[in-house]
Amino acid sequence: MDPGASSPEKQDKENLVGISSKRLGVCGWILFSLSLLLMILTFPISIWMCLKIIKEYERAVVFRLGRIQAGTARGPGLILVLPCIDVFVKVDLRTVPCNIPPQEILTRDSVTTQVDGVVYYRIYSAVSAVANVNDVHQATFLLAQTTLRNVLGTQTLSQILAGREEIAHSIQTLLDDATELWGIRVARVEIKDVRIPVQLQRSMAAEAEATREARARVLAAEGEMNASKSLKSASMVLAESPIALQLRYLQTLTTVATEKNSTIVFPLPMNILEGIGGVSYHNQQKVPNRA
C-alpha cells in the first residue's frame, strides 16, 4: 500500500463541509470591503444591527459569502456580523435528552418485546453540527432508535432483563462513534422499560413459583432428615437410662399443663399398665375363694 495515499476515513473527513481550508477569493475580498465601508458610512445605526449577543451556553457559526469563518464557532459574548455578506446560526451546547419511544423488537430467542429508553447527548463542535448534517437532533434521534433495535435484536430476553447496563454501554459506544463526525458526544444511554406479553409474564411467574416450591420441598426434606437424626440420637440416650424416659414424661406433662387445657393425655409405660392389670386380676381371683 502506498504510504502517501490517505485512508478512506481521512478522505471522508476532508470531504466534509466545514473542514475546508479554502479562503475568500478576489471577489470575496471586494465584497468584504464594500460591506465594511457600508457599515462605516451608516455608523452608528449599523452597529446595532451588526453586533449580536451570544449566551454562555451558545455558539455562533458565521457564514461569510457561504463559507464558514475561522473554522470554529464564535462566542460567548458579542460578535460582529457584517451586513449583506454574513449569516450566522446559533447552536445550543447544553445536554439534550432524547426520549426513544417503545420499539417492538424480536429477540434472538424469538420473543416479541417492547423496549424504550432515553439518550443524553450534547454538541461539542458547533461547526460540525451545522455544516455536516441537515438536522443534527433528528438524525441523532433516528440513529438512536435504529441502534437500539439492532443491539437488542442480537440478545435473548434473559440477557436483556439481566444485562441492561452492559447493553446500554454498548449502545452508547456505537452512538458515540457514529455521531462523532456530526459534532455529537453521547453522555449516557438508559433502557427505561422492557415490556413482554401477558402470556409470557404468566409463564415466567409460573416457572418462578415452581422453582420456589421445589426449593421449599428440598429445605423441608433437609429439615426432616436433620430432625430424624436428632431423634435417633435422643432415643439412643433415653435407651441407656430408663428413668430418663419417666422424667421426659413429667416434663411433657408440665408443658401441657401450662397451656390451660381441659383434657390432658398422659402416656404411661406398658409395663405399668400390665402391672396394674395383673394386680386387679389376682384380686378378682381371691374374692371368690374367700366366699
Distances (CA, A) of 187 to 115, 117, 172: 20, 14, 8
Mean pLDDT of the region 71-95: 85
Give the helix ranges, DSSP H, for 85-197: 126-131, 136-152, 157-162, 164-178
Closest among 195, 157, 149, 193 to 175, alpha carbons compared: 149
pLDDT at 144: 92
Mean pLDDT of the region 255-277: 62
pLDDT at 284: 54
Q: Is the pLDDT of residue 282 over 60?
A: no
pLDDT at 3: 44
pLDDT at 142: 93
The pLDDT tens digits for 52-64 are 888 999 999 988 8
> Cα–Cα distance between 37 and 40 in angstroms, integer?
5
Residue 93 pLDDT class (50, 70, 90 cuts): very high
CB atoms within 10 A of CB 55: 13
Residues 121/106, Cβ–Cβ less than 8 Å: no
* Residue owning grid cell 432483563: 161
Closest among 263, 269, 229, 262 to 248, alpha carbons compared: 269
pLDDT at 277: 54
> Cα–Cα distance between 194 and 199 in angstroms, integer?
15
* Residue owning grid cell 476515513: 9
What b/e readout covers 7-20, taking b as 16+ CB neighbours within 10 angstroms?
Answer: eeeeeeeeebebee
* Residue owning grid cell 464594500: 34
pLDDT at 175: 92
Residues 91/59, Cβ–Cβ less than 8 Å: yes
pTM for the structure as a whole: 0.63
Most confident by average pLDDT, 54-58, 68-72, 79-83: 54-58
For the chain, the average pLDDT equals: 78
Omega of the bond prior to 44 within 30 degrees of 0, cis? Answer: yes
Domains and CATH numbers, the chain: 26-91 (no CATH), 95-199 (3.30.479.30)
Q: Is the pLDDT of residue 41 over 70?
A: yes
Residue 77 pLDDT class (50, 70, 90 cuts): confident
Strand partners, 54: 77
